[in-house]
Structure 1
Amino acid sequence: MEVLNPHCGVHRDARGVVRLTICNAGSLNILSSAVTNGVREGFEKLAKDPDIRAVILAGQSEKSMIGGADIKEMAKLDQKSAEAFITQLRDLCEAVRKFPAPVIARLPGWCLGGGLEVAAACDFRIAAHDAMFGMPEVRVGIPSVIHAALLPRLIGWGRARWLVMTAENIDAPTALAWGLVDKVAPQGGLDAAVEHTVKALLECGPQALRSQKALLRQWEELPLTESVNLSVGVFGQSYLTGEPQRLMQGFLDRKR
């Protein structure tokens, strides 16, 4: 594993799949300012590499990908430093959300608060059978903010309201039923479930996938008619990559 900084380790395989591991953040992989900035720097550096096909975001331990933000640090904040702290976390979530290639959240154990916000910013969320999810911020006197705003889009207003206002945790089967995660792995099968998703992504045109991710991000923001019309030009531009010609011809050749 290559160490990009004290809190970000990277392993890249021959397929162009990167596993980005959050390091030196305690057993629950807690996001202090230093950890948050280290992981963001890792994503920003990797974003410049056009050959990366997918990123798996993982924690160093099996207790969590990210357990949450650092309460020890947050307890000492005032208004100004609180805004600086949460801006750093916002910037990490945006680095994940705007990463050009697909990002898969590998979710063992606990995924709480800021950890769930980072997970929501990923493209895919794959949970262990015993993973637990929650937004406990209101219990410690703060609202859930920044990329908690993705939750109503993922799971609907009622369920998002339940998570951020009751602060009750939900288990992996509930998270799957709500649409908060995409897949729940059987016991001992988390990495196999992640690899299944990686293989599906590798079957796709890499430029097409990057284009699709960018479109989805725009669809989140734009009115429907604008989303439809914008995508006409993106469809045309895909032919400049050579991928449609190569992959469609390959499909036709196999059909013969």
Structure 2
Amino acid sequence: MIERSVRGEAVWIRLDRPAKMNALHLDGWRELYGELDRASEEARVAVITGTEEAFCAGDDIETLDAMESADDVSELAVELRRVLFGIEELPVPVIAAVNGLAYGGGCEIVAASDLAVAVEDATFALPETRIGAYPPYAVERMAELVGKKRSMELALTGEPIDAETALEWGLVNRVVPRSELTDAVSAFVDDVVRSPKESIRLTKRHALAGKPSTGDEDRIAGALARASLSEECRDATQTFLEGGGSEEE
């Protein structure tokens, strides 16, 4: 599900599940957290990217639909929180190399990352509410990036935005042709590693100093369980799956 490669001072973490647009189930989120934690010990920068023309479509909806208890949902919520809020606390910078569609949790990975470069045809969306769930990281953090009204537009409507809009809103730093994505990300890596490790670590640490304490595990798990296990959510999820929807959340 995840491929790992070392390029100079950076570890590239590639989500590799193209048949599902790199959507992640429980084990996938766990694996991603483990790779990020490993990268923080072994490299100066961690880069997250996808396979083929998708970055990450978020959660695997079929897996969500199979959850039967609050404990099931809580287990997933713990891993989501560890990855998304954990990216903030990682001592090394995380760069999202957005090679395509970034929906749901994939869009949240982009928002959580310290830097992001997107290809010109990348799209971004938070469609969780359409199946009765909600995007826990985005609703607590994305307003800092794009403003409250824009973050609510994404979260409440589920409608996608294109790469140029993501750039204008501040969700990504650069938009480049697909052929230039690796070079653009590598240029960021080169610029970052010119600074001492401790300076980078302190910069990331103190960037959190003024942020409110959010991402409470029990609160997120409880909210996701109430939403995901409701009859309304079950109906919406089945409608999505039966309609042959290809977009994960």
TM-score scaled to structure 2, two decimals? Answer: 0.79
TM-score scaled to structure 1, two decimals? Answer: 0.77
In percent, how many aligned pairs have the same letter?
26
Corresponding residue of 1:8: 2
Corresponding residue of 2:212: 221
Equivalent positions of 1:111-126 (< 5 A) are: 111-126=102-117
Corresponding residue of 1:127: 118
* Amino acid aligned to 1:70: D
Which of 139, 149, 155 is the matching residue for 2:140? 149
Aligned mates of 1:187, 1:19 — CA distance in 2: 17
Aligned mates of 2:107, 2:178 — CA distance in 1: 21
SS of 2:210 mapped into structure 1:
helix
Equivalent positions of 1:91-102 (< 5 A) are: 91-102=82-93
Cα distance, 1:147 vs structure 2: 4.4
Sort the Cα spacing of 1:145 and 1:78 in 2 relative to 1 into closer, same or farther, 3 A.
farther
SS of 1:101 mapped into structure 2:
coil
Aligned mates of 1:147, 1:188 — CA distance in 2: 29
* Amino acid aligned to 1:107: V
Structure of higher CA gyration radius: 1
2:96·2:110 contact (CA, 8 Å) conserved in 1? yes
Matched, 1:212 2:203: yes
Corresponding residue of 2:66: 76
Matched, 1:177 2:168: yes
Cα distance, 1:141 vs structure 2: 1.5
Query: How far does the alpha carbon of each residue in 1:175-234 deviate from its partner, in whole angstroms, 9 at most, with x for none?
Result: 111111111013421112112211211222222111101111223238xxxxxxxxxxxx
* Mean Cα deviation higher: 28-37 or 202-211: 202-211
Sort the Cα spacing of 1:207 and 1:199 in 2 relative to 1 into closer, same or farther, 3 A.
same
Sort the Cα spacing of 1:115 and 1:220 in 2 relative to 1 into closer, same or farther, 3 A.
same
* Mean Cα deviation higher: 202-211 or 110-119: 202-211
Matched, 1:18 2:8: no
1:90·1:147 contact (CA, 8 Å) conserved in 2? no
Aligned mates of 1:146, 1:95 — CA distance in 2: 11
Aligned mates of 2:37, 2:199 — CA distance in 1: 21
2:18·2:54 contact (CA, 8 Å) conserved in 1? no
The answer to which structure, 1 or 2, has the higher relative contact order (CA under 8 A, 6+ apart) is: 2
Matched, 1:64 2:57: no
Cα distance, 1:26 vs structure 2: 3.5
RMSD: 1.8
Point out 4+ residue stretches in structure 1 off by more than 6 angstroms: none
Corresponding residue of 2:27: 34
Aligned mates of 1:164, 1:79 — CA distance in 2: 25
Query: How far does the alpha carbon of each residue in 1:145-200 deviate from its partner, in whole angstroms, 9 at most, with x for none?
Result: 23442111111100001000011100000111111111101342111211221121
Matched, 1:90 2:84: no
2:11·2:47 contact (CA, 8 Å) conserved in 1? yes
* Amino acid aligned to 1:45: R
1:25·1:35 contact (CA, 8 Å) conserved in 2? no
SS of 1:20 mapped into structure 2:
strand
1:128·1:190 contact (CA, 8 Å) conserved in 2? yes
SS of 2:134 mapped into structure 1:
coil
5+ residue gaps, structure 2: 214-249
* Mean Cα deviation higher: 146-155 or 21-30: 21-30
5+ residue gaps, structure 1: 1-6, 223-256
